Amino acid sequence: MGRYVARRLLLTIPVLFGASFLIFAMVYALPGDPIRALGGDRPLAPAVVAQLKEQYNLNDPLGVQYLKYLGNLAQGDFGTDFRGRPVLETISQRLPITIKLTVVAIAIEAVIGIIAGVLAGIRRNSFFDNVVLVSTTLVVSIPILVLAFVAQFVFGLKLGLFPISGAQEGWYSFILPGLVLASGSLAYVARLTRTSVAENMRADYVRTARAKGLPNRTVVVRHTLRNSLIPVITFVGADIGTLLGGAIVTESVFNLPGIGRAIFDAVRAQEGAVVVGIVTLMVFFFIFFNLVVDVLYAVLDPRIRYE
């Protein structure tokens, strides 16, 4: 198991290099002149433009730009944005917000999603099952932007239950945005769990367990649920990676200055160093949580072994 994890972690190194170069190339390929856009209606002085292009190596060909970036990276320098703000500082300021939002959203989607899915799954075609089916279809089909504004208007402004925006009230500020962010995934988790549980309820081992005279509770929790969770864990694990990449819409509406907004702005401004820095981090998260999921498989299903 230890060797398997080590090998997987080693494999991330070439992936990170490849990803960072691809991202670098994509930002490089974006049309337009980022420095010209900085000036807006009124062009910057020509010598200032030249200075900025020099400073950010914008006159170099792609390969040279990338090597210079790697060279700086080797010295622990992640570069700066066009405003001279270090990329690391941007990440360290914004990541905690995104992490909190992710934790809340994942907790909501996992707990509510799995409970709803299990209850619906063990009592298929019941009233509750239909409620879950209808409500999840509804939630999945509403764009998150609409959901966010409605939630903010109703629960924030009209009822005053939650702060309208910002992160001033600690974890509490993250509940409403977390709910909105989790809603879509919650629906998927509930449906995945429901199908999986429903299927397993008819499996031979469940019948055997019942025949042995095990109480219903044990049959559902120890046997059915454990086996049913593999697809759910896969989904939730991938979702963690995605959510850590930032949620632009939710962050914007609830004014949480997280990673999503930072990367959106950086791409628009064509700031190579920022985009590469953040996206590489996202790629790493993604790989890492997929590894965690793979390890969890072995925990859930003893038949799966990693040598």
Partner 1 sequence: MNLSKRRGALVAASITAAMVLSACGGSDDNGGEGGGGSTGGTFSMYIDEPENPLVPGNTTESEGSQVVKSLWTGLIQYGPEGEVEYTGVAESIESEDNVTWTVTLNDGWTFHDGTPVTAQSFVDAWNYTAYSPNAQGASYFFSNIEGYEDLQAPTDEEGNVTGEPAATEMSGLEVVDDTTFTVTLTGPFAQFPVTVGYNAFFPLPESFFEDPQAAGTNPIGNGPFKADSEYVPGTGITLSKYEDYAGENEAQADGVDYKVFTDLNTAYTEVQAGNLDITRDVPPDAITTAADEFGDRFLESPSSQFTYVGFPTYDPRYQDKRVRQALSLAIDREAITDAIFNGTRAPADAAIAPVVDGYREGACEYCEVDVERANQLLDEAGFDRSQPIDLWFNSGAGHDAWMEAIGNQLRENLDLEYQLRGDLDFSQYLPLGDEKGYTGPFRLAWAMDYPSPQNYLEPLYSTAALPPAGSNSSFYSNPEFDELVAQGNQASSNEEAIEFYQQAEDVLLEDMPIIPMFFGLEQAVHSENVDGVFVDVFGQVDTSKVTVNN
Q: Give contact residues for partner 1 (rule: CB under 8 A).
A: 31-34, 36-55, 59, 83-85, 90, 93-94, 112, 115-116, 119, 122-123, 126-128, 131, 149, 152-153, 156-157, 160-166, 169, 172, 175, 251-255, 257, 261-262, 265, 268, 270
Residue entry with tokens 């995605």: 242
- Give least dist CB 139 to partner 1, A: 14
CB atoms within 10 A of CB 194: 25
The helix/strand/coil state of 31 is: coil
Alpha carbons 40 and 49: distance in angstroms, whole number: 13
Q: Tell me which residue of 207, 198, 204 sits closest to 225, measured CA to CA.
A: 198
Residue closer to partner 1 (CB basis): 93 or 290? 93
Min. distance of Cβ 31 from partner 1 in angstroms?
5
Contact 109, 182 (CB under 8 A): yes
∠ CA 108-120-143, nearest 5°, is 50
| Residue 299 Cβ vs partner 1, minimum distance, rounded to whole Å | 26
Q: State in angstroms the smallest separation of the CB of 48 from partner 1.
A: 5
CB of 66: closest distance to partner 1 in angstroms?
19
Rank residues 96 and 231 by Cβ distance to partner 1 and give the closer one. Answer: 96
- What are the Cα distances from residue 135, in Å, to 39, 68, 109, 151, 298? 49, 52, 14, 16, 33
The residue (of 130 and 208) whose beta carbon lies closer to partner 1 is 130
Tokens representing 43 are 């062009």
Closest to partner 1 by CB, 94 or 287:
94
- DSSP-assigned states of every residue in 167-206: STTGGGGGHHHHHHHHHHHHHHHHHHHHHHHHHHHTSHHH
Least Å distance between CB 285 and partner 1?
20
Q: Which amino acid is at 8?
A: R
Min separation Cβ 277 and partner 1, Å: 15
Burial label for 112, CB within 10 Å (0-12, 13-18, 19+), is: middle
Nearer to partner 1, 14 or 84 (CB): 84
Residue 263 or residue 293: which is nearer to partner 1 going by CB? 263
- For residues 25 and 49, which CB has a smaller minimum distance to partner 1 in the complex? 49
